[in-house]
Amino acid sequence: MADIIAQVPTKRARGNRKALKEKIPSTSEANILASAKVSESTIMPCSLSSEAAKQNYNEGSLSHPKKGKAASKKQQKNFEKDLLEMQEKLQQLRLEKEKTEELLKVKDEALKQKEEELEFRDREQEKLHIELKKLHKLKEFKPTMNLPLVKDKEQEKKDRKNGCSETKRPSTPYILWCKDQWNEIKKENPEAEFKEISNMLGAKWKTVSAEEKRPYEEKYHVERETYLQVMANEKRESEAMKLLEEEQKHKTAMELLEQYIQYKQETEIKTKKNKKEKDPLKPKHPMSAYFLFTNDRRPALLAENKKVLEVSKITAEEWKNMTEEQKKPYEQIAKKNKEKYMQEMEAYKQKKDEEAANLMKEEEEHMKLQKQEAMQLLKKKEKTENLIKKTKLNNQKKKKQSKEDKNSDPNKPKRPASSFILFSKYARKTLQEQRPGVNTSTLNALISLKWKELSEEERQYWNGKASEAMEAYKNELEKYNKFVAATASEINIDE
């Protein structure tokens, strides 16, 4: 057994060859080496035990030959068991190695997926940043047109609650009478409260006669008529203004759309942001004494090849160290400039106030024109509505007259049917016999198709029938008209 587990003899190095560098073992190789070490550690004690067993065997064989044979058999069995256990352990290590390799592959794939997801997120974030920049640019869109003011519904409700309408509802005759009688009852009952006085006035009003109530009722009727007229005018004006607002909204929407398209085209061309436009007519703020001094001193310092920051520091220190007499000329110039600036600002403000007043007048005139336009639109609308009503009434009257004419004289001859109606009557009978239980709509469709499929000879037959019936109708109508004229003349003679 010792011969089996003997170590492998190492080869000697040849000549002057250099020793090779030690390889760094991989994960799989490391697992194999670990398993080999375990196997060596387990096999070494087995070898030692086998050598000891040999010595005992020799000793035993010399002393007891039977006992030596039994011990050798037991040692062989133990060795076989150890080998089997080692083989099983090696198989387990191989399986674990395969499992670790699979886990490593799965982890590598998961890492790759995460890297791809991160790259995709970075791209999406870049896209979002670009879109946000575009949106910020779009926010700068400022229309040049004056947008119409639109009131909110909540504000309109508040205005109604606060009583913004100038016209007040007229007070009833009872309230008018109470206003006249209140002071008298208050003098008679000075300690009485509001509720008691109102109860007393209600009881007294029941005893007042109709003649005494008449002036209050007349006053109420006059005020009510004026109130209704004013309210009707206001209602018409509000309707007119609504119509005008709708038209203006449509116009402004179209103009805004055009301006927005132009702005978008300009922003695509221009990448730089436009600066805020300042009023060129507004006077500039004057410089202080310190800034006047720095402007005088700067060119000399810059000529000495000094930087801007150094120049600002030097001028500040010099200004601090200067006496009041040295500062006086700069302060006088600054004072004069400030007085001039104040005068210019006053003139500028006056101009602005005048412009604002002119704008207000223009807006008022514009509002008047808008009201006129709105009233014209309302009148046009009313005219169209009236025309529609008149046309409806005329049509209704015509229908009534036609019904009356039909029901008036039963002896008047009726207009004959056309060629198509004569054919449809004939065709309907045949189709109903062929297809019993068919709808009227399908029947009419089939009749129209058959009429289209008719030849010229067949159509001439039906046209001839219709013309014969028309000639007979004309002859009967002439006779009827003559009879009507004769009866009318007889009635006139009798009268």
| Mean per-residue pLDDT, 141-157 | 58
- Residue 91 phi/psi, 5-degree rounding, is -60, -40
- Which CA distances in Å does 390 have to 288, 383, 393, 414? 81, 10, 5, 31
Question: pTM for the full model?
Answer: 0.28
Segment 263-279 shows an average pLDDT of 63
Per-residue pLDDT, averaged over 346-360, amounts to 88
Write out pLDDT tens, residues 461-473.
998 888 888 998 8
Task: Using pLDDT thresholds of 50, 70 and 90, give the confidence band for residue 49.
Answer: very low
Least confident of 288-302, 351-365, 391-405: 391-405
Q: What is the pLDDT of residue 45?
A: 43
pLDDT of residue 16: 47
Using alpha carbons, select from 330, 295, 327 the residue that is nearest to residue 311.
Answer: 295
Q: What is the mean pLDDT of residues 291-306?
A: 85
pLDDT attached to residue 48: 41
What is the C-alpha separation between 66 and 43, in angstroms, rounded?
A: 28
- Greater confidence, 62 or 186? 186
Residue of 286, 333, 296, 287 whose CA lies nearest to 318: 296
pLDDT at 20 over 60: no
Measured distance CA(176)–CA(208) in Å, rounded: 14
Q: How confident is the model at residue 404 (pLDDT cuts 50, 70, 90)?
A: low
pLDDT at residue number 210: 83
Confidence at residue 13, expressed as pLDDT on a 0 to 100 scale: 47
Q: What is the pLDDT of residue 39?
A: 46
The torsion angles phi and psi of 9, rounded to 5 degrees, stand at -70, 135
pLDDT value for 21: 45
Q: Is the pLDDT of residue 33 over 60?
A: no
**Residue 166 pLDDT level (bands cut at 50, 70, 90):** low
For residues 432 and 446, the answer to whether their CB atoms sit within 8 Å is no
8 φ/ψ angles, rounded to the nearest 5 degrees: -75, 130
- Report pLDDT digits (tens) over 370-402: 777 788 788 888 888 888 888 888 878 777 776
pLDDT value, residue 9: 44
In this prediction, residues 109-121 reach a mean pLDDT of: 86
Least confident of 48-62, 254-268, 328-342: 48-62
Q: pLDDT band at residue 8, thresholds of 50, 70 and 90?
A: very low
Mean pLDDT, the chain, whole residue set: 76
Residue type, 290: Y
Name the one residue in this structure whose structure tokens are 């909204």: 249
Residue 343 has pLDDT above 50, yes or no: yes
Give the pLDDT score at 417. 87
For the stretch 435-447, pLDDT in tens is 777 778 778 888 8
The answer to whether 374 and 240 are in contact (CB under 8 A) is: yes
Q: Is 54 left (phi over 0), alpha (psi -120 to 50) or beta?
A: alpha
Nearest to 327 by CA among 315, 339, 338: 315
Q: Give the per-residue pLDDT at 3.
A: 43
Contact 266, 166 (CB under 8 A): no
Chain Cα centroid distance, residue 70: 99
**Residues contacting 476, CB < 8 A, separation 6+:** 413
CA-only gyration radius of the chain, Å: 59
State the average pLDDT over residues 253-276: 69
Whether residue 112 has pLDDT greater than 80:
yes
Angle, CA 332 vertex, CA 330 and CA 334 arms, to 5°: 70
The Cα–Cα gap between 103 and 92 comes to 16
Statement: residue 163 has pLDDT above 60? no
- Separation of alpha carbons 453 and 456, rounded Å: 10
Band (93; pLDDT cuts 50, 70, 90): very high
Mean pLDDT, residues 8-22 taken together: 46
Residue 485 pLDDT: 80
Higher pLDDT, 38 or 357: 357
What three-state secondary structure class fits 377? helix
Q: Mean pLDDT over residues 292-310, rounded?
A: 85
Per-residue pLDDT of 207-244, as tens digits, reads: 888 888 888 888 888 888 888 888 888 888 888 888 88
Residue 151 has pLDDT above 70, yes or no: no
Segment of 129-133, 318-322, 430-434 carrying the highest mean pLDDT: 318-322
